[in-house]
Structure formats: structure tokens, C-alpha cells
Amino acid sequence: MEQQGSHETVSILHELDLGQHTLFIMSDGSIDLLANDHQTPYLADNGLSLDSGETYRLFISLQEQFKQERQRVCVEENLLLRGM
């Protein structure tokens, strides 16, 4: 999966098999998420493609969500330790 840009070749840096989907992290900072479905081999039919800006916003958003979840879990653990 290589894409030809204006003068730059985009290649796969990392490929993560997530079970039913595969996540490709590309050298230009974009990501592609493809369903592991051999019946529909085209990205438009079974995948999602994010440019580098969208990828950045996605990861910032996920980081915030995980940070809030960790804080909530820590508060709950502290309450349990205090016997409340």
C-alpha cells in the first residue's frame, strides 16, 4: 500500500492487526483502517483513511479520553481504599 504524492512516496511505517481490522500508520502521518474482509479489497468499500491533521486530532482526542478515564479510576480506587 504505497501512495504517490506530489513528489513524495508514502509508505507504511507500522501495520497493526486489530483482529477484524488492520491499522496502517503511514510515513506522511496519515492512517488507514481496513476491514480484514477479503470480499471487499478496496479502501472505499471497507476502510477509513485519515490525513495527518485528522490523525493528529484523533490521537489528541483519544489521549484526553484516556486521561479522563484514568483520573476517574484513580478517584474510585482512592475512595475504595479509604472505605467510602
What percentage of residues in the chain have a pLDDT greater than 90?
26
- Residue 66 half-sphere exposure, CB side, CA atoms within 13 Å? 6
Distance CA 80, CA 83 (A): 5
Distance CA 37, CA 69 (A): 32
- What are the pLDDT digits (tens) for 34-53? 888 766 556 556 778 889 99
> The sheet that has 12-17: what strands, in order across it?
12-17, 21-26, 31-35, 47-50
Mean pLDDT over the full length of the chain: 82
Residue ranges covered by each domain of the chain = 1-50, 52-84
**DSSP line for 10-43:** E-EEEEEE-SSEEEEEETTS-EEEEE--TT--SH
